[in-house]
């Protein structure tokens, strides 16, 4: 039975564009699913998948301006929690503890959804999917390593945009 519902989060007020975007994203993700098990893919296909984990260029990363104003006072706590969470995720990945890694990614994803940091949410979803879907431990670990590097860069980018906004540039 297919899952009913959406994997999204909005802070009120919700715009029509947000709802349409979620519906389009959900529709495209449902229509693009494949039935080939990960263990059946070739090494070259796994290499392509591993390379595809590297995500969008710098100009599409989340910035402080995306964070709803009512959460600005919580940014320092959020950033500290994210830094600690990424350190913990790196340790869990090295220990090959997939369940705890997915749980931590899910927790941090919820925080990022609240702050409307869509790119970081997407990266954390990628961690969850990699842990769930990848059967080969080494490939899983490499995929997650790449995503965690991107998350660390995204967090630094967010911190920089916060500092710039405080400096009035």
Other residues' Cβ atoms within 10 Å of the Cβ of residue 36: 8
Our measurement of the distance from residue 91's CA atom to the centroid of its chain's CA atoms, rounded to an integer in Å, reads 18
Residue 49 domain-assigned (yes or no): no
User: In this structure, what token pair is assigned to residue 22?
Assistant: 């979620």
Its pTM stands at 0.64
Q: pLDDT, tens digit, for every residue of 50-95?
A: 444 444 444 478 888 888 888 888 999 999 999 999 999 999 999 9
Four-CA torsion 88, 133, 143, 82, nearest 10 degrees: -30
In a domain, 43, yes or no: no
Q: Does 80 map to a domain?
A: yes
Please report whether residue 22 resides in a domain: no
Q: Of 55, 22, 67, whose CA–CA distance to 124 is shortest?
A: 55
18-38 confidence digits (pLDDT tens) = 777 766 676 565 555 444 444
Is 87 within a domain? yes
Over residues 123-166, the pLDDT tens digits come to 999 999 999 887 888 888 999 999 999 999 999 998 988 888 87
pLDDT of 100 > 90? The answer is: yes
Range of the domain at 117: 60-167
| Number of domains composing the chain | 1
Closest CA to 159 of 45, 82, 94, 60: 82
Nearest to 135 by CA among 49, 22, 71: 49
- Whether 42 maps to a domain, the answer reads no
CATH number for the domain spanning 143: value is 1.20.120
């Amino acid at each position: 039975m297919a899952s009913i519902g959406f994997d999204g989060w909005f802070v009120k007020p919700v715009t029509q564009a947000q709802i349409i975007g979620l519906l389009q994203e959900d529709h495209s993700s449902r229509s693009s699913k494949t039935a080939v098990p990960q263990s059946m893919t070739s090494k070259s296909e796994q290499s392509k998948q591993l390379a595809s984990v590297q995500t969008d260029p710098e100009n599409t990363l989340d910035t402080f301006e995306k964070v709803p104003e009512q959460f600005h006072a919580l940014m320092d706590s959020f950033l500290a929690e994210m830094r600690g969470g990424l350190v913990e995720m790196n340790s869990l990945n090295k220990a090959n503890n997939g369940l705890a890694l997915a749980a931590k990614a899910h927790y941090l994803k919820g925080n990022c959804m609240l702050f409307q940091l869509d790119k970081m949410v997407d990266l954390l979803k990628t961690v969850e999917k990699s842990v769930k879907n990848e059967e080969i431990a080494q490939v899983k670990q490499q995929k997650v390593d790449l995503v965690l590097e991107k998350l660390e860069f995204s967090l630094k980018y967010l911190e920089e945009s916060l500092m710039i906004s405080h400096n009035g540039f």
